[in-house]
Amino acid sequence: MSGLSLKYEVPGDDFTRAGEASSDVKRKLKKLGYDPDAIRRVAIAMYEGEINMVIHAGGGQAFVTIEPERVDIVLEDHGPGIADVEKAMQAGYSTAPDQVRSLGFGAGMGLPNMKKYTDEMTIDTEVGKGTTLKMTVLVNHKS
Amino acid sequence: MKISDVAAILQADVLVEGNMDTEVKTACGSDMMSDVLAFVKDQSVLLTGLMNPQVVRTAEMMDMHCIIFVRGKEADPMVLQLAEQKDITVLQTRYRMFTACGMLYEAGLRGGCEKE
Ligand SMILES: Nc1ncnc2c1ncn2[C@@H]1O[C@H](COP(=O)(O)OP(=O)(O)OP(=O)(O)O)[C@@H](O)[C@H]1O
Ligand SMILES: [Mg+2]
């Protein structure tokens, strides 16, 4: 069956606006009556991904598909790519500059968080070309 | 305790007034938003020394009800506006992070993180 498909532009030049896409998805899921725990997992995972696109990749696009049993999130950017994905997945690993850290990010917790809160996550990345991150959250649809 | 109790304990200014009667049991104090996002366990209060819109976004994603800015940082109108939109109460206290957390802990608020 076909779900609700959403597409967002995530601007890379405005840190203050990062998270608007995730916020919108969260609001839509709430309206649709999804389980609060599932909504929170989607919101946090997508938000971390959105922030990563803004601080590491100069922005990108987010594609979200909402179905009764699952929410799929695809985050696509044309940033620098990730040279060592295994390393990037480790808690505490971050290449974020001090200026990003002073904004409250760069703890190296984003990717591990995303992995933790989603049921499936794959990273497709190439240095110099960009990164595509796919995440799936399985939900218990209520109402 | 209620958010109004939190405000009283910290002698805080109420910068954005949401529902002051909301019951809160757990809190989290951090300047690293990804650390906050790492421990989802119904924490409803966020204490932070940071002042930018992503603090509100983080609280929003976590379904938190109250943000407390410690050590009297100058409030950013953009931050307050976003919090108002999201129905999140914003308090400001002159106490520093350690002291503010300690006062709330003493009054019965807990960490609520998975490791506690
Ligand atoms: N979209 C991306 N493009 C390029 N590099 C990325 C991207 N996402 C993550 N990375 C790399 O992976 C590292 C780890 O990412 P992760 O989200 O775990 O931590 P962080 O963003 O540095 O800090 P935090 O998420 O705690 O704020 C980053 O520091 C960066 O080097
Ligand atoms: Mg990150």
Q: Of A1-15, A70-84, A94-108, where does the model show the most confidence?
A: A70-84
Closest Cβ opposite residue A107 in set B32, B48, B50: B32
In A1-143, alpha helices (H): 20-31, 36-57, 85-88, 98-101, 110-117
Ligand number nearest to the C-alpha of A51: 2
Domain of residue B39, residue span = 3-106
Q: For residue A36, which residues of chain B lie inside 8 Å, CB to CB? A: 63
pLDDT at B113 over 80: no
Q: How many domains does chain B have?
A: 1
The CATH number assigned to the domain holding B45 equals 3.40.1390.20
Determine the average pLDDT of the residues in B86-95: 96
Q: What pTM does this model have?
A: 0.94
Which of these, A29, A43, A27, lies nearest to B86 by C-alpha position? A27
CA of B13, closest CA in chain A: separation in Å?
Answer: 23
Domain assignment present for B81? yes
For residue A111 and ligand 1, the question of a CB distance below 6 A is answered with yes
Interface of B with A in 85-114 (CB under 8 A): none
Q: What is the pLDDT of residue A1?
A: 53
Domain annotation covers residue B100: yes
What's the mean pLDDT when you consider all of chain A?
A: 94
- B51 found inside a domain: yes
B116 pLDDT exceeds 50? no
At A15-69, the pLDDT tens digits run 989 999 999 999 999 999 999 999 999 999 999 999 999 999 999 999 999 999 9
Residue B40's pLDDT is: 65
pLDDT value for A38: 95
* Cβ partners under 8 Å of residue A110, min gap 6: A48, A49, A51, A52, B34
pLDDT the model gives residue A142 = 52
The whole-number pLDDT of residue A41 equals 95
> Does an H or E element contain A76, and which?
strand A70-77
Task: Please name which of A65, A33, A68 lies closest in space to residue A136, comparing C-alpha atoms.
Answer: A65
Rounded to the nearest angstrom, the distance between the alpha carbon of B12 and the centre of ligand 1 is 35
What average pLDDT score do residues B19-38 get?
A: 93
Tens-place pLDDT, residues B33-45: 988 998 767 779 9
- B58 within domain boundaries: yes
Q: How high is the ipTM of this complex?
A: 0.91
Ligand 1 pocket test target in A94, A100, A102 with most atoms within 8 Å of CB: A94
Q: What is the DSSP letter of B79?
A: H
Pairing of strands A4-11, B89-92: unpaired
> Residue B112 falls within a domain, yes or no?
no
Q: Decide if B113 is inside a domain.
A: no
Ligand 1 in reach of A123 Cβ (< 6 A)? no
- B30 in a domain, yes or no? yes
The answer to whether B79 and B55 are in contact (CB under 8 A) is yes
Using alpha carbons, list the distances in angstroms from residue A100 to A80, A103, A110, B61, B77.
Answer: 17, 5, 13, 20, 21
In-domain check, residue B96: yes
A15 lines ligand 1 (CB under 6 A): no
Of A34, A30, A58, A61, residue with least CA distance to A137: A34
> What is the structure's pLDDT at B111?
87
